[in-house]
Chain A
Amino acid sequence: MKAIVNVFLKNGVLDSQGKAVLHALSGHGFESVRDVRVGKQIIIEMDESDSAAAKEKVAHMCEELLANTVIEDYNIEIIS
């Protein structure tokens, strides 16, 4: 089973990297770009057969290590 975790800065926490990419894109003529956010994706292979149990474990991993919940939000997708 595979878990895909996306970690992003929370809304309201300034994403400097996103802003820099936004300015670069605008400067290159991509004028329709309104906002950019930069996050990270963590792909985890697991020996689990139950997707609910896997998701619960990955949520635990996020809280303990993968995300800093003071500044970051995360979402989890389980692919069997």
Chain B
Amino acid sequence: MEQEKGIITSPGGRSDPWASIVKDGIVKAWPICLGYVPIGLAFGVIAQKAGLGPLEIGMMSVLVFAGSAQFIGVSMLSAGAGFIPIVMTTFMVNLRHLLMSSSLAVYLRGINRGRLSLFAYGVTDESFAMNLTLFRETGWDWRRGLVLNHTANVSWIVSTIAGGYGGQFIPAGAFGIDYALIGMFLCLIVFQLRGMLYVIIAAIAGLLAVVISLVVPGNSYIVIASILSATIGLVMRRAGYFKEEEQAS
């Protein structure tokens, strides 16, 4: 459906000077960085309280670069979980990036594998939402997108390490920092609600997740509820519910 748009890659991006590419990427990354700083600090604080040092925190932020998976990973580590459960949970929590990269691929045709591999590293919920909007609505290109991704990445790494260093000086609950991740997710949910069908599916997912979480121990409720509600969404869409909403969005 978006196939035709994908033929046009990097409109106007080829001859731009590096300075303007870097500036554009940083300017558009700014709201993401602002969102990452308190979350990164919160993560550093929690990781430090779980017994991780700044180097260990920084290494995780560099290697994983995924907020929610890192929070879950640290809580599982401190609960004594092993390699397989942590890696499996991380995989399932981050499987959503499969869709995000699929959507972004439409705008990244004709770019070589090395550059795409570099770009892939920075695909997060926030960079995806920002880049996709910019690709769709402006002459955004992969170079600017890459700068945006890495600017966000640097702010994440630095703030998680800073949280690890400053952790012992920040009392529990200070500045409402424990709520940063939930605030981010609440806003990201709003970004997903592009029509009544998405509102209904999100509500079903939340309800199913609560019910399953009360019955099944562990974190599996997240993936089970998501798979079930996405399937319900597909069936409802195929059955023709909210068709006008879909086309309007």
Q: Do A and B bind each other?
A: no
